[in-house]
Amino acid sequence: MRLNYCLTILHVSILAALFLTLDADSNDSTCDIEIRVHRGMVHEALPGEDLRINCPVAFCNNSPPTVSWYKYETAIASVPVDVSSSSHIKIEWTLVKPLEGISYLIFQKILRNDAGEYRCQTGDSVSHSINVSVDGYGERNVTRNDTKSTEEIFWPYVYRVVGIMAFVIIVLTVWVASRCGCKGESRDTPDLSSQPSHDALTTTTIYTSV
The CATH number of whichever domain residue 119 belongs to comes to 2.60.40.10
User: Has residue 41 been placed in a domain?
Assistant: yes
Residue pair 52/104 in contact by the 8 Å Cβ criterion: yes
> What is the domain count for the chain?
1
Using one digit for the tens of pLDDT, what is the confidence trace for 97-118? Answer: 999 999 999 999 999 999 999 9
User: Has residue 142 been placed in a domain?
Assistant: yes
DSSP symbols for 29-42: HS---EE-PPTTEE
Structural Rg of the chain based on CA atoms: 35
Structure pTM?
0.54
User: Has residue 128 been placed in a domain?
Assistant: yes
Query: What is the C-alpha to C-alpha distance for residues 202 and 192, in angstroms, rounded to an integer?
Result: 17
Q: What confidence tier does 71 reach under pLDDT thresholds 50, 70, 90?
A: very high
Q: What confidence tier does 204 reach under pLDDT thresholds 50, 70, 90?
A: very low
How far is it between the farthest Cα atoms of the chain?
A: 128
Instruction: Give the pLDDT score at 165.
Output: 85
User: Has residue 192 been placed in a domain?
Assistant: no
Find the angle CA(157)-CA(163)-CA(164) to the nearest 5 degrees: 95
In the chain, where do the E strands start and end?
Answer: 34-35, 41-45, 51-58, 68-72, 78-80, 89-97, 100-107, 116-122, 125-126, 130-134
User: Has residue 143 been placed in a domain?
Assistant: yes
80 has which bridge partners?
70
DSSP-based three-state secondary structure for 169: helix
User: Has residue 71 been placed in a domain?
Assistant: yes
Indicate whether 131 pLDDT > 70. yes
Domain hosting residue 139, numbered range? 34-154
Name the nearest CA neighbour of 122 among 57, 73, 183, 76. 57
Query: What is the C-alpha to C-alpha distance for residues 67 and 111, in angstroms, rounded to an integer?
Result: 23
Q: What are phi and psi of 43, to 5 degrees?
A: -125, 135
Region of poorest pLDDT, from 62-76, 128-142, 147-161: 147-161
Please report, rounded to a whole number, the percentage of residues in the chain having pLDDT higher than 90. 41
User: Has residue 205 been placed in a domain?
Assistant: no
Please report, rounded to a whole number, the percentage of residues in the chain having pLDDT higher than 70. 60
When the pLDDT of each residue in the chain is averaged and rounded to a whole number, the result is 76
Average pLDDT over residues 58-79: 88
Instruction: Give the pLDDT score at 146.
Output: 42
Name the nearest CA neighbour of 118 among 109, 127, 110. 127
User: Has residue 26 been placed in a domain?
Assistant: no
Instruction: Give the pLDDT score at 162.
Output: 77
Q: What are phi and psi of 162, to 5 degrees?
A: -65, -40
Average pLDDT over residues 38-44: 94
Query: What is the C-alpha to C-alpha distance for residues 61 and 68, in angstroms, rounded to an integer?
Result: 19
Query: What is the C-alpha to C-alpha distance for residues 124 and 132, in angstroms, rounded to an integer?
Result: 23
